[in-house]
Amino acid sequence: MRVIAAAVYCLILTNIGTVYGAEDSRSSHLAFNGEDKSCYAVNRAYENTRNSGRYSYTLSELQEDGHLRPYMEVRAIDNFIYSRIENGGWGEERRRPILTPFDANSGLPVFTSCKELDDAQTEEGLALHYSAYWHRYKWRATIEIWISKTSGKFIKTIRRYDQGAGDLPFPVSVEIMDYDRGHAIKPMVPPACWTLDLETPPAICIDLTSPSPITVH
């Protein structure tokens, strides 16, 4: 179940990248028609984050006891996205452009009903803290977002999915961003994992010979 969900999630990743290879972030700084006006700051931070030339992040399950269970690691490097589930092999996909915070399938805004909460102190420094509603394809969740006051990029998000409407095999996910270039390095991709094709098994390559746990930075 976790492998199938990971394969589906990897396909979604190709819709949240950019073809730009520069290391700086890019935001239009302008609101687009159809945006929720309450989400202006969140949308610009989303653009800054996803249009960065190089970054990485981890996706983890937030367990009931408050601990994180690592699930997936993703590295966006120039024109490609590399991803793997824990103890699995790396897959490679070409990044596709998305310059606006709209869902590529429905054309509807990803973030709605944004509300600014109290500022928060994080390991990355002071952060703006927002709550919002997140919607992509058929998946829906309430989301908390921490945005760096220094870089204007996402630091962390927590998604609490509506019942039966999650894109991951657990109800609460934590995404932690990492902009350290030393961590966003091109991994070794086995030949069998060069493409992710759900029609031709295996849908995702699992390397059982050299398992490697995911490190949350």
Does residue 93 lie within any of the structural domains? no
Task: Record the tokens describing residue 150, joined without a space.
Answer: 């220094």
Nearest to 81 by CA among 127, 12, 14, 15: 14
How many residues in total does the chain contain?
217
Does residue 156 lie within any of the structural domains? yes
- H-helix segments, the chain: 2-13, 40-50
Q: What is the pLDDT of residues 147-170, one digit of tens each?
A: 999 999 999 999 999 988 788 899
> Residue 127: what pLDDT?
95
pLDDT at residue 174 tops 70: yes
Across-strand partners of 120?
127
Q: Going by C-beta distance under 8 Å and a sequence separation of 6 or more, which residues neighbour residue 191? A: none
Bridge-based pairing of strands 172-178 and 154-161 is antiparallel
Does residue 17 lie within any of the structural domains? no
> Residue 124: what pLDDT?
81
Whole-prediction pTM value?
0.74
Does residue 58 lie within any of the structural domains? yes
* Residue 109 DSSP code: B
Contact criterion met (CB below 8 Å) for 112 and 102 = no
> Residue 100: what pLDDT?
67
Number of compact structural domains in the chain: 1
Does residue 81 lie within any of the structural domains? no
Does residue 151 lie within any of the structural domains? yes
Sign of the Cα pseudo-torsion (207, 21, 176, 180, in order): positive
Q: How far apart are CA 173 and CA 61, in angstroms?
A: 5
Least confident of 28-32, 38-42, 55-59, 126-130: 28-32
pLDDT at residue 123 tops 50: yes
> Residue 34: what pLDDT?
79
Domain span at residue 65?
Answer: 24-69+99-190
Does residue 37 lie within any of the structural domains? yes
Does residue 85 lie within any of the structural domains? no
Nearest to 155 by CA among 176, 174, 185, 138: 176
Q: How far apart are CA 14 and CA 53, in angstroms?
A: 14
- Choose from 106-110, 118-122, 132-136, 205-209 the range with maximum mean pLDDT: 132-136
